[in-house]
Amino acid sequence: MLAFLIKRTANAFFVMLAVAFLAFLIFRSFGDPVEMMVNEQATQEDRAALRERLGLNDGFLTQYVRFVTNAAQGDFGISYRNQQDVMVLISERFPATIELVLVATIISLVVGMPLGVLTAVHRNSRLANFLQLGSIVGVSLPSFVVGILLILAFSVSLGWLPAFGRGETVDVGWWSTGLLTPSGRQALILPAISLSTFQITLVMRLVRAEMLETLRTDYVKFARARGVPRARVHWVHALRNCLMPVITLTGMQIGNLIAFALVTETVFQWPGMGLLFIQAVTFVDIPVMAAYLMLVSLIFVTLNTIVDVTYAWVDPRLKDDSAKAGAANG
Amino acid sequence: MAEPEQTAPAAKDDLRARQANGVWSRLRESDLGYSFVRHPSAIFAAALLGLIALSALLAPWITPQNPYDLAALELWNSEIPPIWDERGQLPYLLGTDVQGRDMLSAILYGSRISLIIGFASVILALSVGLTLGLIAGYFGGWIDNVIMRIGDILLSMPFILIAILISAMATASLPPSLKSALAAPILIFAIAVPSWVQYARTVRASTMVERRKEYVQAARLIRVKSWRIMLQHILPNTLTPIMVAATLNFGLAILSEATLSFLGVGMPSDQPSLGTLIRFGNEYLFSGLWWIVVFPAVQLCLIVVSVNMIGDWLRDALNPKLQ
């Protein structure tokens, strides 16, 4: 077990080194950091001094090692666009994205699981077929289209909910939360729904597939034979045995949701990391792009590694690597 | 030309006719055809997709206006609502945008761009993925390791992030004169890069199984060249799961293209895809011009829903467990 843990961690470490290499390449190939940082009046000597101070005259490998060491300490330099420390910029935006993703995840579980159970239990009924068709539509709807349609319906036509921004926020330590104010909660509703549509259908389809298998097992038949009410068998006994894959999927999807939140954040002008990243892309603000890329990849890789290790711990057969080829799919 | 066939031309024609007939009846009587006929949703989706593709391809001949031709746009025709509104005007069935562009024409031209980019990126990802997967699975060893590790790294970053980075970086490094011309190829490449890995993994796994079978050993024994064994003998036996993945990825590619264009790192405004049109419309969300954003969005959803319905049916139809 320890060997497997070390192997997985080392693997994740090398993947992060490779991602850092990509980020570093982007850094080196686009724009001259010196030109971005000095003002108009800077003399040739000032520039040369800054170049020397930033270590841009060193060899490729030295610079890469320095980039990785700095990145590991959370130092990504200064944003080209607004001259602030990149890590400060990102950590200001971090709570907004995480709150959005967590609420979307909760919605997807609360809505997706009952729908999955319903479609499995009433298999081939009209309701189940309708929901099954609905799940294809849910997978196919682009999240920005969902967002735009929600804004059109609930903000423009009905005027019930705000269409952009995060409302009022309250600081709890360094974490600024919108969950504690009425306007913050209202502002969260539409973005969270639009981010969760895809996830709802994923959860629903997974629960349906798992339930169909579970309903065939003997213990379910036995529970019915013993006189346990049908609803209790379905919603308690059977559903509980479908939860493990759902938890795994939810865990692994959080990384994807964080990345995909950038689309939702653009539609709703939600002040999270994703919006920061998209603005950085338009201005070719490389330090911010590199930091975001590395942070999201780190979350992604960490979650995948945790899932892998937990699985190997639960089911020792999976320590054999070949058994889980193709387990992770973006 | 004194072949024996010449003596019996009638028999030859007959044979040819029976062969042609055979293709159709074989298609109809195959498992897949049988399943297709019995699935109304698959038939509906295929018909819808066919209609959309046909109207998109014929766009230059059936639309009332060329939406890219700025000279054809008249500003006094701008912001006309759809035809069923009392202020609607012919020939603008779905209304016009703020520049006087006919929405129906823009949508058909936009669908053409979306479909072409989606299709081309799937073909590119397929050819790279199949090639690398075959090589990795057939030869094994260090080359397998290198290919699969690159794939692992790509899969350790979110799909959408890779595509955005590639598209943004490629566009930033181009001179302004080339940006518009190369926008579509860049997008195709940006979407194909994170998607080849799935094909490569699938083909590699089945190649590793097929490689040990007797027909491959026999082919090796009589010194058939490696590339020929891979392409002619192994590849056809790995294609079933690939077909399903490719169909579903076609929908995903169209979605990704639309997302990138919506975010402003995709198709530029002078050759708008459906995503670009939705981005324009999004700017007028609060001015009551709902038709500028809703119609392109509906068209995009119709395309992706029909592709996914076909993919869903194909997955069930090709799944041996369900037969």
B38 Cα to chain A: minimum distance (Å): 16
**A69 close to A110: Cβ distance less than 8 angstroms:** no
Is A175 in CB contact (< 8 Å) with chain B? no
What does the alpha-carbon distance between residue A145 and residue B258 come to, in Å, rounded to a whole number?
10
Whole-number average pLDDT of chain B: 80
Q: What is the pLDDT of residues A299-317, one digit of tens each?
A: 888 888 888 787 777 766 6
| pLDDT greater at residue B220 or residue A273 | A273
Choose from A15, A130, A136 for mutation: most chain B CBs within 10 A: A136
Are A265 and A125 contained in the same domain? yes
> Chain A residues with CB inside 8 Å of B194's CB?
330
Asked if residue B5 is part of any domain, the answer here is no
Residues A275 and A151 in one domain: yes
| Rounded Cα distance, B4 and A281, in Å | 70
Could you tell me if A44 and A124 lie in one domain? no
> Residue B122: which pLDDT band, with cuts at 50, 70 and 90?
very high
Specify which residues A78 forms β-bridges with: A85
Do A68 and A211 lie in one domain? The reply is: no
Query: Is residue B5's pLDDT more than 50?
Result: no
Specify if B293 maps to a domain.
yes
Which candidate in B157, B278, B285 is best for mutational testing of the A interface (most A CBs within 10 A)? B157
How many angstroms separate the CA atoms of A237 and A229, rounded? 11
Who among B194, B263, B265 is closest to A330 (CB)? Answer: B194
Check residue A168 and give its pLDDT.
74
Q: Taking a contact as any Cβ pair under 8 Å apart, which residues of chain A between 122 and 141 contact chain B?
A: 133, 136-137, 139-141
Full residue range of the structural domain in which residue B100 is found: 52-322
* Structure confidence at residue B126 as a pLDDT band (50, 70, 90): very high
The DSSP annotation for B117-153 comes to HHHHHHHHHHHHHHHHHHHHHHH-HHHHHHHHHHHHH
Q: How many structural domains are present in chain B?
A: 1
Among B161, B251, B285, beta carbon nearest to A151 = B285
Chain-centroid distance, C-alpha A201: 17
Rounded to a whole number of angstroms, the distance from the CA of A249 to the nearest CA of chain B is 15
Percent of chain B with pLDDT over 90: 9
Among A156, A258, A259, whose Cβ lies nearest the Cβ of B285?
A156
Is the pLDDT reported for residue B131 higher than 80? yes
Token pair, residue B263, equals 């975010």
How many domains does chain A fold into?
Answer: 2
Chain A positions touching B41 (Cβ under 8 A) are 133
Residue A8 pLDDT > 50: yes
Q: Indicate the pLDDT class of residue B17, thresholds 50, 70 and 90.
A: low
Residues A179 and A310 in one domain: yes
Residues linked to residue A171 through DSSP beta bridges, in sequence order: A176
Domain assignment present for residue A79? The answer is no
Residue B91: asked if its preceding bond is cis (omega within 30°), the reply is yes
Tell me the pTM. Answer: 0.82
From chain B, pick out residues whose CB is under 8 angstroms from the CB of A19: 153, 156-157
Residue B128: pLDDT over 90: yes
> Between B151 and B103, whose confidence is greater?
B151
A327/B contact by beta carbon, under 8 A: no
Chain A residues within 8 A of B164 when measuring between CB atoms: 262, 281
Q: What is the pLDDT of residues A106-156, one digit of tens each?
A: 999 999 888 888 888 887 788 888 888 888 888 888 888 888 888 888 887
Q: A84 CA to chain B: closest CA distance, Å? A: 22
Higher pLDDT, B71 or A242: A242
The shortest CB-CB distance from A144 to any of B161, B194, B259 is to B259
CB < 8 Å from B in window 20-39 of A: 26, 29-30
Among A21, A44, A72, residue at a domain's last position = A72
Nearest C-alpha in B relative to A15 = B153
Nearest CB to B293; choose among A18, A142, A148: A148
Where does the pLDDT of residue A330 fall: very low under 50, low under 70, confident under 90, or very high at 90 and above? very low
Residue of chain A whose Cα is closest to the Cα of B288: A156
Q: What is the domain-level CATH number for residue A247?
A: 1.10.3720.10
**Residue from B151, B270, B278 nearest B205 by CA:** B151
Position with higher pLDDT, B114 vs B155:
B114
In a shared domain, residues A94 and A68: no
pLDDT of residue B78: 66
Return d(Cα A245, Cα B213) in angstroms, integer.
Answer: 34
pLDDT of residue B6: 45
The verdict on residue B18 lying in a domain is: no
Gap between the Cα atoms of B285 and B280, Å rounded: 9
Look at residue A327 in the predicted model and tell me its pLDDT.
40
Q: Identify whether residues A323 and A177 lie together within a single domain.
A: yes
Instruction: List the single range of A37-51, A289-303, B46-60 with lowest mean pLDDT.
Output: A37-51
| Cβ contacts of A143 on chain B, cutoff 8 Å | 259
* Four-point Cα dihedral A13, A19, A24, A26, nearest 10: 180
Looking at chain B, which residue has its C-alpha nearest residue A267? Answer: B282
Q: What band does B188 get if pLDDT is binned at 50, 70 and 90? A: very high
Residue of B164, B201, B281 with shortest CB distance to A326: B201
User: What's residue A36's pLDDT?
Assistant: 65
- Verify that A58 and A93 share a domain, yes or no: no
pLDDT in tens, A185-210: 778 888 999 999 888 988 888 888 88
Residues A238 and A263 in one domain: yes
Q: ∠B298-B299-B305 over CA atoms, to 5°?
A: 85
Residues A161 and A307 grouped into a single domain: yes
Q: Is A172 in a helix, a strand, or coil?
A: strand
Decide if A78 is inside a domain: no
Question: Residue A208 falls within a domain, yes or no?
Answer: yes
From the list A30, A140, A329, the residue facing B251 with the nearest CB is A140
Residue B237 binned pLDDT confidence (cut-offs 50, 70, 90): confident
Residue-wise pLDDT for A18-45, tens only, equals 888 888 887 777 766 666 666 667 777 7
Q: What is the average per-residue pLDDT within A245-270? A: 86
Q: What pLDDT score does A326 carry?
A: 40
The Cα B118–Cα A140 span in angstroms is 14
User: What average pLDDT score do residues B129-145 get?
Assistant: 88
Q: Is residue B278 part of a domain?
A: yes
pLDDT of residue B152: 83
Spatial CB neighbours of B164, under 8 Å, sequence gap ≥ 6: A262, A281, B190, B260, B263, B265
- Of the ranges A118-132, B111-125, B168-182, B222-236, which is most confident? B111-125
Task: Count Cβ–Cβ pairs < 8 Å, chain A vs chain B.
Answer: 122
On whether residue B40 sits in a domain, the answer given is: no
What is the structure's pLDDT at B211? Answer: 81
B202 occurs within a structural domain: yes
Long-range contacts of B49-57 (CB under 8 A, 24+ apart): B49/B303, B49/B306, B49/B307, B49/B310, B52/B111, B52/B115, B52/B299, B52/B302, B52/B303, B52/B306, B53/B115, B55/B108, B55/B111, B56/B108, B56/B109, B56/B111, B56/B112, B56/B115, B57/B112
Please report, for the domain that includes residue B209, its CATH number.
Answer: 1.10.3720.10
Under an 8 A CB cutoff, do A26 and B169 touch?
yes
B106 lies in some domain: yes
Which one of A19, A41, A72 terminates a domain?
A72
The 3-class SS string of A117-149 reads HHHHHCCCCHHHHHHHHHHHHHHHCCHHHHHHH
- At residue A104, the pLDDT reads 92
Closest alpha carbon within chain A to B173:
A30
- Does residue A59 have a pLDDT over 80? no
Q: Is residue A80 part of a domain?
A: no
Interface membership of A300 toward B (CB under 8 Å):
yes
Which DSSP state fits A177? E
Domain limits for position A209: 87-329
Are residues A50 and A120 both part of a single domain? no
Confidence of residue B72 (pLDDT cuts 50, 70, 90): low
pLDDT grade, residue A49 (50/70/90)? confident
Determine which of A21, A129, A139, A204 to mutate to test the interface with B (most B C-beta atoms within 10 Å).
Answer: A139
Chain A hits for B172, Cβ within 8 Å: 30, 284
Kindly indicate the confidence band of residue A328, based on its pLDDT and cuts at 50, 70 and 90.
very low
pLDDT for residue A322: 43
Domain boundary among A46, A72, A98: A72
Using CA atoms, how far apart are residues B214 and B233, in angstroms rounded to an integer?
12
Top mean pLDDT of A92-101, B267-276, B279-288 is at A92-101
- How close is the nearest chain A Cα to the Cα of B28, in Å? 26
Note whether residue A82 is domain-resident: no
Contact indicator for B107, B56 with CB cutoff of 8 Å: no
Residue in A closest to B158 by C-alpha = A256
Q: Nearest chain A residue to B161 by CA: give it.
A: A259
Residue B125: pLDDT above 90? yes
Both A95 and A51 in one domain: the answer is no
User: Is B283 domain-assigned?
Assistant: yes
